[in-house]
Structure 1
Amino acid sequence: MATHGAQPPPLLQNPGSTEDYCMGRMLVHSPGIWAVNTATNHFRFFAYSLPRMLGQLAVMFLLAELLHLLLKRFRLPRFVSELLTGIILGPTGVGRLEFTRKVLVMDQADFYMGLLSKIGFLFFIFLSGVKMDLGLISRSGVKAWTIGVIAVAIPHFIFICFSEVGITEYPQIHRYRWSAIRAILRIQSQFSFPVIALLVVDLKVMNSELGRLSLATALVSDLLGTIVMAIYVNVKMGSMTAMTVVTVQAFVSGVVCVALIVFTARPLSAMIIKRTPEGRPVDKAYIILMAFLVFFASLLSDNAGMSFQYGPFILGLAVHGGPPLGSTLVDKLDTIVSGLFGPLMVTFAGMKVNLCEIYDMEFIGYVWLAMLICYFIKYLSVITPAIACKVPITDAISLAFILCTQGVVQMSFYLNNTVNQTFDEETFSMLVMAILIIASVTHFAVASMYDYSRTYSGYQKRDIQHNSANSELRLLTVAHRLEDVLAARKLFEVSCPYRESPLSIYSMFLVELVGRATPLLVDHQLGQRNASSNSRSQKMMDILRSFELQYLGYVYVQFFTSVSLPKFMHYDICSLGFDKQTSMIILPFHKKWNQQGKLIQDSNSIRTMNNNVLETAPCSVGILIDRHKIKNPQRMSSPVQHVAVIFLGGADDREALSYARRMSRSPSVYLTLVRFVPLDPDLYNDQWDAVLDAEVLKDMRIQAKHQDNILYREERVNEGAETALVVRDMQEVFDLILVGRRHTDDMPQLFGLSEWNEIAELGPIGDMLAVDTTLPVSVVVVQQQDTKTK
């Protein structure tokens, strides 16, 4: 037999040679069906490693997607679908079939899929570290620190005591099984920030109070738990060898490894950021360099006595998160890592589950008992301090479920222990099933208990109509761009702030969250500075500050910045409106025009955000369609603002009229109320709304008799087509038009208009004003606070 130092065998070995060579054929690439050699394997594509791996990947992702389409209706996360895919394809499911086992399912010698899943997991852990905001630790309040420290201290204390003393009191457990029980307790005691961050996104509570508390507590618990466990493992290594020097050596190796990664990556990332022009993505060469450092950090930590994934995780923490480096890394790598390689670890682990061959039922019972006790202790360690910190009971229960959830990180720990033969196949199968059950129950329980819209339950009459005429008017304006702030200021100028009825403006600038896992709400009044702030946001603040100085003593402005994912921005908007008790939220329209009236922006994300705000807002909402940019040579500039209200009837029209009446207090505003009356009044049979409308219109007619800048008009129309003609004529005259969003379906004034409605959230009249004109007339589509569903 050849030794390790022997040279490779020659192509033609001489007969009678004294050395024997052991040659193994690596069947990687299939020669195809047209190959000259007609060996049997040439026609079996899946006998070769590469076609088999590609076939496995195709089947995995197809089955996982089909399962997710089915299970998401039952509020189960994608993680469950990916894990079930592995179990179905493994020896528990179709892997038991002879045909499937030969053609598709991997055997013990096929390690390519395992290597690919580990590489994907390295980048998943690296990106998780990049998304972590270590500054959140210093910003976390006493509540998050209290819950996080207690949640780490109690489980780890019980685990260490039982591992060192308690386990020896159970002779039923063979001493060769002690290592497996200790590993289970050690892994169960840990908290995983990446898993929890993914969960709060899936549950759509990322920007809620529960989501923020979960992320802050998870970050504290994860880092503290990792430090405690690293110290325990090093001390344990020294005690097992009866040599203190081993503990010292392991500790020094770990510290040197961490220091080398941190003090290399930190200045390197700072240099990359310095060389990147403002507003530009990081150069591709630096992204390749960071990918190389992921492998190097993994190699370094693996040889320093730590687990192979700790190096990339520390590297991710050391990299400067957020734009430009962190955001570019996430933008370039997150799609393929989270969508392809990250789930591969879960499915690969599921394919190793074998529920059909379980023999040692007694030990399996101890495994389940250990997991249940650990979960129960962790749950109590979270919910008890949460209730003591005066967290609402429903939120405390949900918080405990979220922090105790398990996912791909715990799966990787179990898989590593299986490779190291700490767990046998039976134990690993039970642990994977426990992860599946915990993840399913957690997602379903929190989704059932926690409803963000319930935050505004009982929150009544927060609108302009029911606001006292001489009281403070509180408005929340939302801005994505500089043009949004300019449009909002023009609206505020005609809102007539004065001493007896001041105007309080809460301005929220929206910034997309990139390169981070934790959202951020910056209160600029508290001296907070947004890490991603730039000259653009400063200009936006300067515009409203100048407006505040112009009406000094009558206008008060406060500034906030929300850094969040676009699909969760409406949570911050509604939450701020609720906290500040605003009467109306002013939203920018999702379309923008240039000076020639040409459409230059049509954002689906802004439109989705507006729809979400309309559904969950704690007060009235106004969508501002700004067209002041458009030039009209036929209209002369004038200091007088001509404002109109289109009134058909209903709560939203009454709210729009109430806002316009406030504007009419300004002598520079000329208000025209145009009421559309059907030719046959009996066709409109909502008597209660008719009574309320009559009361509001009566007050308006009385006010018009005493004010020269108010005009009341009635237009009798037979159907929607006649209404459309009058509305189009109004666009030629007025600078600002206010209209209600919702009207009843049986209104004769709107017959036929709904069929042409392109933007449903604006209503038929608002849609007409938003789409069918290129004139410089701005529109505010008003929705009064909806208290029926609260």
Structure 2
Amino acid sequence: MDHVSEIQHEYNKRVKIEGCYETIVSNPNAIWKSDSILTFYLPFFTAQVALMLITTRSAYYILRPLNQPLIVVEILIGFMISPEIIGGTPFYGSSLVPLRAIIPIETMTHFGLVFFVFIAGLDMNLDTILHARKKATSIAVAGIIIPMAMGSGIYYLLQSMYKGSHENLANHNTFKAYLFWTLTYSVTGFPIVSQILTNLKLLYTGLGRVALTAAMITDFYNWVTFALLIPYAMNEKTAIYSVIATIVFVLFCFIILRPYMEKLIIRKTTHNDWDNYQLLFVVMGAYACAFITDILGAHPVVGALVYGIIIPRGKFTEMLINKSEDLGVVYLAPIFYGNCGIRLRFLYTVRTQGVTLVMLTMFLTCIPKILSTLIATQFYGMSILDGVAVGVLMNTKGVLPLIMLNIAWDEQILSAESFSILTVTVLMMTIIVPIIINVIYKPRKLHRQNKLRTIQNLKVDSELRVLACVHNPRQTTGIINILEACNSNKLCPLRVIALQLVEMTGTTTSLLVSHINHHNMQQSGAHNSLTESEQDLETIANVFAAYAEETENTTKVETLAAVSPYSTIHEDIYNVAQEKQATLIILPFHKQSSLEGILEDSNSAIKDINQNVIRDAPCSVGIFVDRGIGSLFKVDLRVLMLFIGGPDDREALAVAWRMSKHQRIHLSVVRILLSGEAAEADSSSSSHVESKGLLSAEVDNEKQKELDDEYVNSFRLKAVNNEDSIKYLEKEVHSANDISEVLNQMDQIGCDLYILGQGTGRNSMVFSNLMKQTDCPELGVIGDMVASNNFGSCSSLLVVQQYGFERIEFETSTQQSSEASANNDGSGELFVKVE
């Protein structure tokens, strides 16, 4: 007997000992012939759950810099329980989870697995799948067929290189083995792909949209293939009857059960008539369907998946997931991965088959998806880099291949070597996907490629693209009025990308808001059955569509939604602006006007979003403070632009200049000339002083003045002298008090909208000192004054920051809060309320 045969002989003996054992129970109970559930099984089950929760959460925070989704960490920790690693220690095998407790724990894992697949069904959207574009569908189909064809060839090659007994080789060189091997090759895990794209901020790029839709379609067809082919592996003689019965059951669910459930759920959701007991009956429907498909000869998870798909999407789905997700997904599903790890024998496989064969297998397993996707994307003109990136993302696996491999293990279809190699490959591919994508595809690096994405440098006949960000429908009216003011030049058409900003709640369903067609949302049920985010998106889309019709379709409007944690949603705004080649981003202010005209905080998180956006935006940015601006379709608009100097003021003047061409706008430009104390330079405010020196800072300051004079003179020559609706005025100030006096004078004259520059690049000692007292530094010194309730103005405000220059560095919220409280004694206020 050679060395490999000896290892296999010892392994087979150990498997028989672990797989077949005798339990002697001394229990006087005449009904339950087992140990006490409360005193024996429950403590071990609780210990297993606690172990998985603690280890997975700890590992998740450690691996966060690698952008790994939580499910990947759960699979990794589950594999660490292999008998060759943690599972083989005396503490785990004897004290924590003894052999007698494995079967009951495995039963509970299947309970959690059914619920996990039910949640996966809720995440799928048939409207998106059935109405997907040809590109995504072609990539999905190619990513299923080609890998299955190549997978059979790879399995045959590896079988020819197998080291071991010929008897063992013959037992696993069957049609069933080929079927399971190739099915694993074709799988793509849609939930993990969506999480990876979200973490890497690629969800709203062209590549992200194609990859997400293709992953959803692939995942759906993978489940269909699984439901149709698995019966042949489990019971080949009666498989055809199982398949026919399963198809009949699915048709019954969609044709008969789905319409009834849709009416019932929409009616009760509309009237908010759900309680926990009724929700429990809905959840138990997943287990009832799982039981039926199990009886029919298919796998139980097929019934749970179908049941999840037929439930109508919207407010009810969100409520159901929020109330019940933790049980199956958070607590029970990780134990399923631990159960997979118990069966893993990877080190044994390396010893018997050699490192070369194992590495070759893992490498060849990654190739079919990339190759098939690359072939499909070439027909649609995508670059090779994008094709490879989509192919890498399609290699992301999920829970389905693990279910397949566990069935193959239970039915002894695949050998221990094949099971171990494929299981580890599933994990490794899912781990390295976000790392590879982060390396080869970084759209954030593209932000600084175009230095001319400003309105000042926009050519006369170029299209103006504006990314209008809103959080709720209330903010749309004022921003639309600003957009209409910019829609003044027929030679330079306006294109609006309306982006709703939605805070991610943690469910994959919310990620699809931006990819669900507006008409599909209306067809999915009554308006009241939609989630709050979907209702807002529908309202926002209708408002912007009405605006496009009101302009006689001269303005092109596109409505999207960005769903992400508020702490990183600014990166999604960057990517959408980059993708749509926007020239200007308009953001709503974090305060809203009350009925009395006082600005009140609506959501403090919006302030952080605005500061994050203007810190490194890929184009110019405007923050809009809405105090109720009138519609240009009905009334004339008085606009006042205050020009002090610097790149932001030049950009603000460019915006005002464009608005002045609208026939219903009257523009007044007031240039504030600094002299005396107000003109003293503050060299320390320049961040580049240390590297370039004080002389260079002074030269830059003089250069900015020259650019200011040149642009203002051009404005006076081309606009003021040729338009009766434009006025130009100059005011000289000597101190901070003079600035407040000028602002009070201008406000008493009256205007509907202020347009100001944020003020980056001004090297004035007065403005540097005033900046330390601002409550909202993202508005700049003058903007913070005008927006202050103490100023007493009723005018709206648009603060503009030009792209391509240094950005202001904001202090943390804690520092701002402490300084604001320190200035609340009134000494820092420049204005008293004007009665």
Partner of 1:589: 589
| Closer, same or farther: CA 235–740 of 1 in aligned 2, 3 Å | same
Q: 2:52 aligned to 53, 60, 68, which one?
A: 60
Partner of 1:174: 169
| C-alpha distance in 2 between matches for 1:9 and 1:705 | 103
Q: Which amino acid aligns with 2:494?
A: S
1:419-442 deviation line (CA, Å, top 9, x unaligned)? 444457665544443233212211
| C-alpha distance in 2 between matches for 1:26 and 1:398 | 53
| Closer, same or farther: CA 724–549 of 1 in aligned 2, 3 Å | same
Partner of 2:714: 699
> 1:264-279 alignment to 2 at 5 Å?
264-276=256-268, 278=270
1:585-643 deviation line (CA, Å, top 9, x unaligned)? 3232233232124566623565565456546755422121101289xxxxxxx966443
SS in 1 for 2:300: coil
8 Å CA contact 2:231–2:242 kept in 1: the answer is yes
Deviation at 1:445, TM superposition (A): 0.1
8 Å CA contact 2:643–2:669 kept in 1: the answer is no
| Closer, same or farther: CA 412–249 of 1 in aligned 2, 3 Å | closer
- More displaced, 425-434 or 267-276? 425-434
Q: 1:188 aligned to 185, 189, 210, which one?
A: 185
1:483-533 deviation line (CA, Å, top 9, x unaligned)? 3232124334554726x6566352626385884653445788x99978689
Partner of 1:675: 672
Match status 1:104 vs 2:96: yes
Deviation at 1:115, TM superposition (A): 3.2
| C-alpha distance in 2 between matches for 1:107 and 1:598 | 68
Partner of 2:558: 560
Q: Which runs of 5+ in 1 are unaligned?
A: 1-7, 12-20, 31-47, 631-637
| C-alpha distance in 1 between matches for 2:207 and 2:273 | 33
| C-alpha distance in 2 between matches for 1:279 and 1:508 | 31
Partner of 1:33: none
| Closer, same or farther: CA 198–707 of 1 in aligned 2, 3 Å | closer
Partner of 2:394: 403
| Closer, same or farther: CA 489–214 of 1 in aligned 2, 3 Å | closer
| Closer, same or farther: CA 359–495 of 1 in aligned 2, 3 Å | closer
Match status 1:306 vs 2:303: no
Match status 1:740 vs 2:730: no
| Closer, same or farther: CA 502–157 of 1 in aligned 2, 3 Å | closer
Q: Which amino acid aligns with 1:316?
A: G
Partner of 2:810: none
8 Å CA contact 2:151–2:185 kept in 1: the answer is no
| C-alpha distance in 2 between matches for 1:741 and 1:84 | 49
Q: 2:641 aligned to 620, 645, 648, which one?
A: 645
Aligned residues, how many? 738
Partner of 2:496: 506
8 Å CA contact 1:92–1:354 kept in 2: the answer is yes
Deviation at 1:206, TM superposition (A): 2.0
> 1:216-365 alignment to 2 at 5 Å?
216-228=213-225, 230-233=227-230, 241=237, 246-276=238-268, 278=270, 284=276, 286-321=278-313, 323-334=314-325, 337-350=328-341, 353=344, 361-362=352-353
> 1:682-693 alignment to 2 at 5 Å?
682-683=681-682, 685=698, 686-687=700-701, 688-693=703-708
Deviation at 1:348, TM superposition (A): 4.4
**TM-score of the superposition, structure 1-length normalised?**
0.80
Match status 1:750 vs 2:767: yes
Q: 1:133 aligned to 111, 114, 125, which one?
A: 125
| C-alpha distance in 1 between matches for 2:409 and 2:249 | 26
Deviation at 1:117, TM superposition (A): 3.0
| C-alpha distance in 2 between matches for 1:460 and 1:356 | 54
Q: Which amino acid aligns with 2:211?
A: S
8 Å CA contact 2:234–2:411 kept in 1: the answer is no
Q: 2:512 aligned to 508, 518, 522, which one?
A: 518
| C-alpha distance in 1 between matches for 2:497 and 2:362 | 49
| Closer, same or farther: CA 614–533 of 1 in aligned 2, 3 Å | farther
Deviation at 1:466, TM superposition (A): 1.8
> 1:122-161 alignment to 2 at 5 Å?
122-159=114-151
8 Å CA contact 1:195–1:409 kept in 2: the answer is no
8 Å CA contact 2:395–2:430 kept in 1: the answer is no
| C-alpha distance in 1 between matches for 2:54 and 2:478 | 48
| C-alpha distance in 2 between matches for 1:279 and 1:448 | 50
1:130-154 deviation line (CA, Å, top 9, x unaligned)? 2212222333222223222222222
| C-alpha distance in 2 between matches for 1:735 and 1:61 | 57
| C-alpha distance in 1 between matches for 2:160 and 2:193 | 34
Q: Which amino acid aligns with 2:706?
A: V
| Closer, same or farther: CA 156–507 of 1 in aligned 2, 3 Å | closer
| C-alpha distance in 1 between matches for 2:392 and 2:669 | 56
| C-alpha distance in 2 between matches for 1:741 and 1:673 | 16
| C-alpha distance in 2 between matches for 1:533 and 1:737 | 42
Partner of 1:78: 70
> 1:32-47 alignment to 2 at 5 Å?
none
Q: 2:200 aligned to 192, 198, 203, which one?
A: 203
1:275-304 deviation line (CA, Å, top 9, x unaligned)? 146595866555323201111111111221
| Closer, same or farther: CA 442–548 of 1 in aligned 2, 3 Å | closer
8 Å CA contact 2:155–2:181 kept in 1: the answer is no
Partner of 1:633: none
| Closer, same or farther: CA 23–251 of 1 in aligned 2, 3 Å | closer
| C-alpha distance in 1 between matches for 2:250 and 2:480 | 51
8 Å CA contact 1:704–1:712 kept in 2: the answer is no
SS in 1 for 2:794: coil
8 Å CA contact 1:272–1:282 kept in 2: the answer is no
**TM-score of the superposition, structure 2-length normalised?**
0.76
| C-alpha distance in 2 between matches for 1:378 and 1:536 | 38
| C-alpha distance in 2 between matches for 1:248 and 1:89 | 38
- State percent identity of aligned pairs: 21
1:19-40 deviation line (CA, Å, top 9, x unaligned)? xx8986624445xxxxxxxxxx
Partner of 1:26: 35
| Closer, same or farther: CA 588–530 of 1 in aligned 2, 3 Å | farther
Aligned CA-pair RMSD: 4.3
1:385-416 deviation line (CA, Å, top 9, x unaligned)? 22343211221111111101223332333334
| C-alpha distance in 2 between matches for 1:556 and 1:263 | 44
SS in 1 for 2:656: helix
Q: Which amino acid aligns with 1:178?
A: N
| C-alpha distance in 2 between matches for 1:440 and 1:371 | 13
8 Å CA contact 2:672–2:730 kept in 1: the answer is yes
8 Å CA contact 1:736–1:778 kept in 2: the answer is yes
| C-alpha distance in 2 between matches for 1:489 and 1:237 | 61
- More displaced, 508-517 or 73-82? 508-517
Deviation at 1:210, TM superposition (A): 1.3
User: Which has the larger helix fraction?
Assistant: 2
SS in 1 for 2:203: coil
| C-alpha distance in 2 between matches for 1:649 and 1:425 | 74
Deviation at 1:262, TM superposition (A): 3.0
1:290-338 deviation line (CA, Å, top 9, x unaligned)? 20111111111122111221111111222222x1333333333345544
SS in 1 for 2:756: strand
Partner of 1:215: 212
SS in 2 for 1:585: strand
| C-alpha distance in 2 between matches for 1:62 and 1:445 | 28
| C-alpha distance in 1 between matches for 2:468 and 2:61 | 38
- More displaced, 377-386 or 280-289? 280-289
Partner of 1:628: 628
